Amino acid sequence: MLIMTERKLKKKRMAKATSINEGLNPKQIAFCFEFMKDHNGTQAAIRAGYSEKTARVQASDLLTIPNIQQFIQKREAEIRAAAGITRERVMAELGKLAFLDPRKLYDQDQNLIPVSQLDDDTAASIAGVEVDESTDFITGEISAKTKKIKLSDKKGALDSLLKMEGWNKPDKVEQSGKIETIVTISRNKTG
């Protein structure tokens, strides 16, 4: 079995990236890969080998270069595609969380339905399950069982959906034209 070090993998990725995009030098390509890790331009510049003193300015300048923007966008799209992450899939998952009907967690007798018997959409909205059992010390049998189900953040899911659709943007008020200031000075002569 061949084990590649992180440095060798990075060199291999950069060599492949350079052949794909001849417009970028190796340091710029390194910046792109570092930027994609956390979208922190300053830290990406430092990790790519730029000076700490000028990293913020370098990052700002690098991110305005069209070839760098295209490289990052293309590479991130490839990563999302490989992982099967699409806008539609993310919206569908957020929809499951945002529009969960908690009544689906219970049967007709108001008993909690076991997670394994829930439909896929309801099960996907559960963030966690906790079961506490109390044991009778004399008989050794379970005397009480408490089940707690933690649901995913409904408001957070709704906020994320609103943000994805751009429905939560503040109303913009555009003003155009020239602003003139007229100052009137009056002198009172007293005398």
pLDDT tens-digit map of 65-97: 999 999 999 999 998 888 888 888 888 888 888
Packed helices 26-38 and 66-83: angle between N→C axes, nearest 10 degrees = 50
This prediction has a pTM of 0.53
- Range(s) of the chain covered by CATH 1.10.10.1400: 6-85
Structurally, at CATH architecture level, domain 6-85 sits in Orthogonal Bundle (1.10)
**CA–CA dist 62, 84 (Å, integer):** 29
Rounded average pLDDT over 128-138: 82
